[in-house]
Amino acid sequence: MDIKLDPSRDDLPLMANTSHILVKHYVLDLDVDFESQVIEGTIVLFLESGNRFKKRSSSTKVACPSESNEACKFRMPEPCQIPVTNTKTFSSKIGYNDFVICGKGEKDTSGKDGNHDNQEQASGISSSKYCCDTGNHGSEEFLLVLDCCDLSVLKVEEVDVAAVPGIEKFTRSPKLRNQIVHELMALPTDRWREQLDYYARCSQAPGCGELLFDTDTWSLQIRKTGAQTATDFPHAIRIRYRTKPQGRSVTWTSDQSGRPCVYTVGSPINNRALFPCQEPPVAMSTWQATVRAAASFVVLMSGENSAKPTQLQEGYSSWHYYVTMPMPASTFTIAVGSWTEMKPETCSSNDVATERSFSPSEAHFRYIGVCGHMEYPCRFQKSSASTQKIIPHRVFAPACLKGACQETLLPLIPPCLSAAHSVLGTHPFSRLDILIVPANFSSLGMASPHIVFLSQSTLTGMSQLCGTRLCHEIAHAWFGLAIGARDWTEEWLSEGFATHLEDVFWAKAQQQLAPHEAQEQQELRACLRWRRLQDEVQNSPEEMQVLRPNKEKTGHVSDSGSSIIRHGLNPEKVFMQVHYLKGYFLLRFLAKRLGEDTYFSFLRKFVHTFHGQLILSQDFLQMLLENIPEEKRPELSVGNIFRDWLESSGIPQPLQRERQALAECGLAQQVSAEVAKWVRVNRRPRKRKRKDREEVFEKLLPDQLVLLLEHLLEQKTVTPRTLQSLERIYRLSEQDAEVRHRWCELIVKHKYTKAYRDVERFLQEDQERSQRESFLCICS
């Protein structure tokens, strides 16, 4: 089962056999140790067997490592016995709002000798070894496969949920553990607090037999002797494990104040190096987590509750979070550091949650009917949530950035949230935390349920970069989280929508802008994106420019449920924006063709229909065309859109025809006039004649400055005198990161040594480390 991939070119495997069995709920109980840079603890999985499970086929057998000459053998697990229950384990103090409260877990002594190391391909339980079952070919046992990488798995055991006091009320067969788990998962939505409480109690129940397991590069495989189908396999299992300092799902680093911190980085391998899980998006699950760290640290996480620390002995604190909306495990996020909290002064949770009646203009936000997703406590069914323009929010950052956050970020959050609500209606999530992450963060932002990471680069210059990026991440609450792609190769369903909506939200958030000004700014941004798309198409492999690379096989998986993410491990893919840009231009094309009022009215209906679900491109396009009168959609069909936009490389043909119009927008024309002035200045001799008149330069918006500098980068030479004038007139070193990025390119291209300090600052504060090294090589 071990797959050797070349990370420079190959696809990322999703190994979990989700067609046979699904994780429905995770309970994590973890300790964060900054000294060893390890997260250690347990994760309990509550499982549900699928309709298509069957006896394990020969294709899912675990092969013996080729380098081992030792005969394959495995240890028989201990028979399941129900021990005498320690009532303290299930203390009545565990309430509905305090989940999985416990002290530090007992250290596993098998970590050194019996550790299952992914790289070494070692496996075993305690001191024994398990390679595969070659001694009994008649035994076809079910194999649970989880996505797992860069983890040391120490122990796997079945959890005796039948030992939990009071659990008998969930079933008429209290000794049938799988039936107990099934009925616990089947509790109605209005009993979600009770359900979470019993998940927590079950997660602390004693084990009743160790399970056989093995690890390879990309997966953890677990089986129980005698369990031949997913139905027979234990439906509650506990895995004790620890992360590795070099694990690719989290980054151990220091924040801007020099304090240690750790956070999930949006890795290409997602969360499989943080905890064993089912990565395929179809594995929609809920979770709850207890995380312990030194009392000086703040733990932030994807969670519906605004957690507060519980003080433990010996200088430690415990934090508890939970989620009741099923989502892919890849959306789970954690950050631990010495963050300073900031809250808005003028907007309390009572103010933002006030329920009111609808005005006639808002009536179209309300759709009568039952939601189409699996059952969970859904905000779209709450009238108070549907009228809540601004959800409760907090900002966290290192202490040294508190002033910048209060000045730039905090004032932008209410208008951006309100603007998003005015376009799409009900906020899918009940609250929002925003964290300014360390300088090594590799992008401007990342959205997860209830929490957004923003780069410190968004805090410099004017408010535009911060506002547009915030709007982009807020848009992901609807597209990317509440509505996800069923096939991760269709990234445009998340990034294309967020890029298109960021302009719409930002235009509404700038209440001082006249409609024509907002429209001009959007046209300018379209012009900039056209240039970026053109550049990317010219400098990237054609196969990576396709938005729907699997074509008619999009969404298909193997019989077991495993699949691949095409180009998922290609390092170039991290820096590509084709899914953002082509997706954006497709949605812009549709909105213009149908009329923006018609398009956004449909989009609200689409959100109401598909929230809480996974979609493919055809789900969106078919519903769009079905809801649009024929006279408004000439020559539009799903097939045509697939052909022109989603399944071809290069610039889509419909977009080619818009090229001239983009270049002729008013703000872009103003930039062209300024470029001409600078070209004249650059050509003048050092000693000018007196009759030469001074050029008068216009004040430019940040996006106009970006376009200006991009045009000047096309010039063969720009003199030091011209560069000095550019910096002085536009105060380029004080602009936002997008402007300073182009300014630094000019500095490097023309070896303008006087401004190398600006490049150094940019590399330290605004560039991810791998990019810093390559940029420094250019400078040297």
Annotate 408-465 with DSSP letters as a single string: IIGGGHHHHHHHHHHHH-S-SSS-EEEEE--TT-SSSEEEETTEEEE-GGGGSSSSHH
Where would I find the beta strands (DSSP E) of 160-247? 207-210, 212-215, 219-223, 236-243
* CA 107/CA 116 separation, integer angstroms: 16
Question: How far lies 502's CA from each of 28, 416, 417, 467, in Å?
Answer: 34, 9, 11, 9
Q: Give the separation between CA 56 and CA 142, rounded to whole angstroms.
A: 5
The single residue listed with the structure tokens 């997260």 is 39
DSSP 277: B
Just list the catalytic residues.
473
Distances (CA, A) of 278 to 31, 37, 215, 327, 388: 22, 24, 15, 11, 34
- Residue segments in the chain with a per-residue pLDDT below the cut of 70: 1-9, 51-139, 174, 346-369, 687-692, 767-780
Strands lying side by side in the sheet with 445-448: 340-342, 393-397, 432-436, 451-454, 445-448
- Are 376 and 286 in contact by the 8 Å Cβ rule? The answer is yes
Q: What is the pLDDT of residue 692?
A: 61
pLDDT at position 233 is 97
User: Would strands 432-436 and 451-454 be described as parallel, antiparallel, or unpaired?
Assistant: parallel
Beta bridge partners of 292: 31, 318
In terms of Cα–Cα distance, which of 264, 442, 392 is closest to 336? Answer: 264
> What is the spatial distance between Cα 230 and Cα 293, in angstroms, rounded to a whole number?
37
In the block, which residue shows the tokens 């603007």? Answer: 419
Query: Residue type for 346, please?
Result: T
Q: At what angle do helices 578-594 and 492-509 cross, to 10 degrees?
A: 60
